[in-house]
């Protein structure tokens, strides 16, 4: 007699398929190599009616799972992967990732102090796309730059308050990139409160940082190691600091032995902080701040002839899209040409680009062309990048955005 089929146990339920994204054929190779972005044009279909901001399982056209990510169909980058395996994207996941990021910073020099400043979480570089967390003394500044991270902001703030125990967490959700995610501009305290101006230490120097109104999150943490290196080179030198912001390059150099520093900075608020910073570092008598456009200031100083031994160029990003590359490279060439003309013999040119779309080879070519036009012989002695607290994802060249060349000028 045939055996009856055993009835399904009442407490046993069929596994519910995760909401997912299926890629078009041939669009999985980059993700299999470790890249974390899925472009909207690479998606064939959505399975399970996932909502924007939701965690989804990404699959190749063959059905092969590629990882878990956060969805936003309004964005050109429609999915940002968080994990290479199928798993829950829950509190435990974010706690583990934050612990990993904090553990790395604890291993990086210099040792942390109560007034330390460093990047604690660097988006894709820490496998947390869309999340930036900077520490300024006892204050954290957070940016949730994608819809998926913004939806989890309350959880992230709670975890950071528990794990780091800062005085407060301030949101600097004002970058233009949030508009591409359909997110509004948003700033203010998310936890704790207090003055928005914080004093920090960088090596032997102290700086006032305005976390509410300053550029980026208040300070250029990515240049910390480069400032240290250049300060060592600047002993006994006359320094010209272009796009000086709040004076960190100048003050670090003077504190290390530069005889003088002249800063060019157009922002009145930044110049006021630069003056305050120079005063609290007891070097105001050796620092001079000129409130003017760096292009105009360089042109004027170049016309007067060589008067400096070190010229530092740390401009904002001139190239924010690939279509703006030609115009941006022309701008880089002009400032490098002018800077070369203010340098005396045996000088140093420190030239930087924070534009991801400008490759190091392109910056090198621009500096070479500028040197030929200025009739100066140059040698590149160091090629540097961002500080170690901005780690580079090996499969994502987008995470290595900062280029810094140290150039010997004859």
Which residues are the active-site residues?
A: 354
Going by C-alpha positions, the residue among 394, 387, 383 that lies closest to residue 359 is 383
> What tokens were used for 325?
């590359």
And the tokens for 318? 């001139």
Residue 208, token pair as written in the block: 């006032």
- Pairing verdict, β 65-71 and 55-59: antiparallel
Q: Structure tokens of 376?
A: 């100066």
Segment holding 207, helix H or strand E: strand 205-210
Write the secondary structure of 253-311 as one string of H (helix), E (strand) and C (coil).
Answer: HHHCCCCEEEEECCCHHHHHHHHHHHHHCCCHHHEEEECCCHHHHHHHHHHHCCCEEEE
Tokens of 183: 């997110």
Give 102's contacts (C-beta < 8 A, 6+ positions apart).
120, 163, 164
Q: Is the dihedral of CA 105, 111, 112, 118 positive or negative?
A: negative
CA 82 – CA 340 distance, rounded (Å): 45
Task: Residue 55: name the closest of 25, 27, 15, 21 by CA.
Answer: 21
Identify the DSSP state of 26.
T
Please, what's the b/e burial string for 85-104 (b: 16 or more CB within 10 A of its CB; e: otherwise)? eeeebeeebbeebbeebbeb
Q: Which of 399, 319, 396, 401 is nearest to 121 (CA)?
A: 399
């Amino acid at each position: 007699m045939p055996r009856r089929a055993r009835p399904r146990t009442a407490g046993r339920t069929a596994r519910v398929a995760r909401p997912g994204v299926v890629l078009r054929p041939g669009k999985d190779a980059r993700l299999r190599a470790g890249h974390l972005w899925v472009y909207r044009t690479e998606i064939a279909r959505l399975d399970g009616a996932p909502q924007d901001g939701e965690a989804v399982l990404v699959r190749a056209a063959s059905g092969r799972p590629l990882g878990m990510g956060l969805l936003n169909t309004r964005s050109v980058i429609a999915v940002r992967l968080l994990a290479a395996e199928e798993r829950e994207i829950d509190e435990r996941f974010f706690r583990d990732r934050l612990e990993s990021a904090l553990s790395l910073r604890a291993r990086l020099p210099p040792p942390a102090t109560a007034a330390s400043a460093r990047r604690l979480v660097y988006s894709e570089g820490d496998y947390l796309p869309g999340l930036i967390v900077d520490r300024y003394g006892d204050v954290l500044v957070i940016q949730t730059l994608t819809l998926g991270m913004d939806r989890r902001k309350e959880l992230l703030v709670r975890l950071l308050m528990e794990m780091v125990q800062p005085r407060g967490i301030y949101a600097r959700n004002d970058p233009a990139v949030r508009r591409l995610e359909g997110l509004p501009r948003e700033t203010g305290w998310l936890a704790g409160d207090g003055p928005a101006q914080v004093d920090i230490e960088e090596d032997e120097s102290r700086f006032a940082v305005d976390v509410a109104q300053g550029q980026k999150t208040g300070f250029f943490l990515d240049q910390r190691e480069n400032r240290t290196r250049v300060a060592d080179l600047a002993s006994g030198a006359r320094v010209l600091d272009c796009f000086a912001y709040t004076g960190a390059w100048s003050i670090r150099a003077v504190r290390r032995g530069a005889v003088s520093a002249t800063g060019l900075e157009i922002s009145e608020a930044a110049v006021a902080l630069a003056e305050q910073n120079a005063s609290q570092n007891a070097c105001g008598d050796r620092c001079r701040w000129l409130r003017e456009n760096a292009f105009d200031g360089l042109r004027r100083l170049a016309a007067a002839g060589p008067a400096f031994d070190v010229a530092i160029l740390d401009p904002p990003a001139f190239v924010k899209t690939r279509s703006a590359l030609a115009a941006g490279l022309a701008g880089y060439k002009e400032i490098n040409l002018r800077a070369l003309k203010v340098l005396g013999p045996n000088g140093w040119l420190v030239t930087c680009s924070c534009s991801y779309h400008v490759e190091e080879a392109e910056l090198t070519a621009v500096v070479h062309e500028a040197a030929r036009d200025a009739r100066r012989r140059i040698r590149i002695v160091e090629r540097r990048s961002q500080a170690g607290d901005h780690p580079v994802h090996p499969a994502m060249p987008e995470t290595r955005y900062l280029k810094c060349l140290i150039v010997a000028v004859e």
